[in-house]
């Protein structure tokens, strides 16, 4: 057969197709099954239940409690590593959705999420609130408060998705989900339609509407995407929970988990399903900024200079309570510093670099380029705690089993820790360097695509900001960091 390469290009060769996780034997077979997500959620739900019970009734010493050890040492590290290597697989296996899905068998939500809240501002406020509570209440050292936080997640998912249709909790409320959405933009895999030509010929649109008994039937036998991501117009991982409902609903087996160039979606400024146009989403831009500068703030909270800063602020303003002092630190890192740095870079880019649009438009457009750098800091920070405390869950689990009158795991091996700091430190620097490289590449591509009059100056301006963030991250990772939630010393 002859092909007209303009109107009817030949099908891609088998070896030129992108990697598709759903085509991998065993793993792909499991993920394509209808109840695969439930199978993944059940063990995490059991672990979460054990954490809650141990947090409430176990020893209140953080290094001996499953709630604090698993939450603040192991879960966070495993999460960022999974996001780096694969994608948003935690949201796929999210334990908070298991009781929510069971409840929906008996209660059908009738309300739509309020139009005024169909953005990321509420979730952004909750994200900052969790970071603030983590520092104010020393959550890493309080099994009881950590257990209550896990309970709050379960209750929030049940309450909100019990009242409102679709996946309102995931899309508009869950702070952990927003972290995953932003971080997964740098992941190497995405849920995507394999062949858009197949989508063009589809008349039922099951990936978004759900599969029905008959096309005209109101009875849905397999729901479509609850986050309003229509596969033919979906771009990237923003707002995608990897739930694979679209995979199950598609009657043409045309949705896969395919490989892509990490972070490239942050360059795309076209209309995308469920998200819109990035340069017009100030809420998403603010989320990207808080994600980046929050990474530095969260790491800064674990090194000794933070206490000197808090002490100076308390003395200068004559404050006797931690909350207002900590609030000032948060305002400095998450409001004042981003406004000054991004505002200055945007002003230079528009005034001297010839970048079209105003300062605010430049801030929104280029803020997404900071995401890889921010993720590099999260990865270095959480990776440090995870790798240095890699085996600490073993003695904690042994102690928990013995405390429950079931000492089958043996005596707690409290000597088990993880990798030495001298081994982990080069990995931290590697993660930071990877983040810097990603942000520099994005800023360069943006400067080229925006066709600024002096694109070299525009790139240099934003590159200088990226390097400044890298220097801050390098300095933070070079400081002695508190070994929170473990028996390890500084």
What does 344-396 look like in DSSP terms, one character per residue? Answer: HHHHHHHHTS--SS-HHHHHHHHHGGGHHHHHHHHHHHHHHHHHHTTTTHHHH
What does 63-105 look like in DSSP terms, one character per residue? Answer: GG-HHHHIIIIIIHHHHHHHHHHT-SHHHHT-TTHHHHHHHTT
pLDDT tens digits, one per residue of 113-123: 999 999 999 99
pLDDT tens digits, one per residue of 52-111: 999 999 999 999 999 999 999 999 999 999 999 999 999 999 999 999 999 998 988 999
Q: Are 417 and 488 spatial neighbours (Cβ–Cβ below 8 Å)? A: yes
Full-model pTM: 0.92
Q: How far apart are CA 191 and CA 201, in angstroms?
A: 20
Q: What is the CA radius of gyration of the chain?
A: 24
Q: How far apart are CA 260 and CA 268, in angstroms?
A: 13
Tokens in use for 106?
């008996």
Q: What phi and psi, each to the nearest 5 degrees, are found at residue 363?
A: -60, -50
Give CA torsion, residues 242, 246, 250, 252, to 10 deg: -30
- Residue 153 Cα distances to 96, 177, 422, angstroms: 7, 11, 36
Residue 165 has what pLDDT? 92
Residue 66 has what pLDDT? 96
Nearest alpha carbon to residue 292 among 89, 477, 87, 466: 466
Q: How far apart are CA 281 and CA 278, in angstroms?
A: 5
Residue 3 has what pLDDT? 36
- Residue 456 Cα distances to 3, 268, 340, 362, 366, angstroms: 42, 21, 22, 15, 15
Q: Encode the chain (490 residues) as per-residue pLDDT tens digits.
A: 333 433 444 555 555 688 999 999 999 999 998 889 999 999 999 999 999 999 999 999 999 999 999 999 999 999 999 999 999 999 999 999 999 999 998 988 999 999 999 999 999 999 999 999 999 999 999 999 999 999 999 999 999 999 999 999 999 999 999 999 999 999 999 999 999 999 999 988 999 988 877 766 666 788 899 999 999 999 999 999 999 999 999 999 999 999 999 999 999 999 999 999 999 999 999 999 999 999 999 999 988 888 889 889 999 999 889 999 999 999 999 999 999 999 999 999 999 998 888 999 999 999 999 999 999 999 999 999 999 999 999 999 999 999 988 888 889 999 999 999 999 999 999 999 999 999 999 999 999 988 778 999 999 999 999 999 999 999 999 988 776 656 554 3
Question: Would you list the domain boundaries of the chain?
Answer: 18-259, 278-478
Q: In DSSP terms, which residues pair with 303 in a beta bridge?
A: 481
Q: Are 44 and 95 spatial neighbours (Cβ–Cβ below 8 Å)? A: yes
Centre a 10 Å sphere on the Cβ of residue 309 and count the other Cβ atoms it contains: 14
């Amino acid at each position: 057969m002859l092909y007209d390469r303009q109107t009817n290009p030949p099908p891609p060769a088998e070896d030129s197709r992108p990697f598709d996780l759903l085509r991998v034997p065993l793993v792909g077979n499991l993920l394509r099954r209808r109840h695969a997500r439930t199978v993944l959620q059940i063990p995490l739900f059991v672990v979460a239940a054990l954490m809650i019970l141990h947090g409430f009734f176990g020893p209140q010493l953080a290094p001996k409690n499953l709630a604090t050890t698993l939450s603040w040492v192991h879960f966070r590290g495993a999460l960022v590593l999974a996001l780096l290597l694969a994608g948003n697989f935690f949201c796929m296996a999210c334990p908070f959705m298991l009781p929510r899905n069971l409840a929906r068998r008996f209660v059908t939500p009738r309300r739509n999420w309020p139009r005024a809240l169909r953005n990321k501002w509420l979730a952004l406020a909750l994200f900052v609130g969790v970071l603030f509570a983590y520092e104010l209440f020393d959550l890493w050292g309080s099994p009881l408060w950590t257990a209550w936080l896990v309970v709050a997640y379960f209750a929030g998912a049940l309450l909100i998705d019990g009242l409102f249709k679709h996946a309102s909790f995931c899309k508009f409320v869950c702070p952990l989900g927003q972290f995953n959405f932003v971080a997964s933009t740098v992941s190497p895999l995405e849920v995507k339609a394999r062949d858009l030509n197949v989508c063009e010929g589809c008349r039922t649109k099951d990936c978004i509407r759900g599969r029905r008994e008959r096309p005209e039937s109101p009875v849905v036998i397999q729901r479509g995407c609850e986050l309003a991501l229509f596969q033919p117009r979906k771009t990237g991982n923003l707002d995608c929970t990897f739930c694979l409902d679209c995979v199950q609903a598609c009657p043409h087996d045309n949705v896969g988990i395919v490989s892509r160039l990490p972070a490239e979606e942050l360059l795309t400024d076209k209309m995308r399903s469920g998200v819109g146009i990035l340069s017009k989403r100030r809420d998403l831009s603010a989320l990207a900024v808080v994600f980046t500068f929050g990474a530095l703030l969260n790491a800064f909270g674990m090194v000794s200079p933070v206490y000197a800063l808090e002490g100076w602020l308390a003395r200068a303003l004559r404050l006797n309570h931690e909350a207002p002092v900590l609030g000032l630190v948060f305002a400095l890192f998450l409001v004042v510093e981003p406004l000054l740095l991004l505002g200055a870079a945007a002003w230079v880019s528009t005034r001297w670099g010839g970048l079209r649009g105003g300062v605010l438009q430049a801030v929104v457009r280029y803020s997404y380029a900071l995401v890889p750098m921010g993720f590099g800091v999260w990865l270095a920070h959480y990776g440090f705690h995870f790798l240095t405390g890699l085996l600490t869950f073993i003695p904690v689990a042994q102690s928990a089993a013995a405390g429950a009158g079931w000492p089958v795991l043996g005596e707690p091996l409290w000597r088990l820790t993880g990798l030495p700091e001298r081994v982990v430190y080069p990995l931290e620097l590697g993660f930071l360097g990877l983040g810097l490289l990603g942000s520099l590449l994005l800023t360069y591509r943006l400067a080229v695509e925006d066709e600024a009059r002096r694109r070299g100056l525009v790139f240099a301006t934003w590159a200088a900001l990226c390097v400044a963030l890298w220097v801050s991250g390098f300095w933070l990772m070079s400081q002695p960091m508190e070994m929170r939630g473990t028996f390890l010393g500084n």
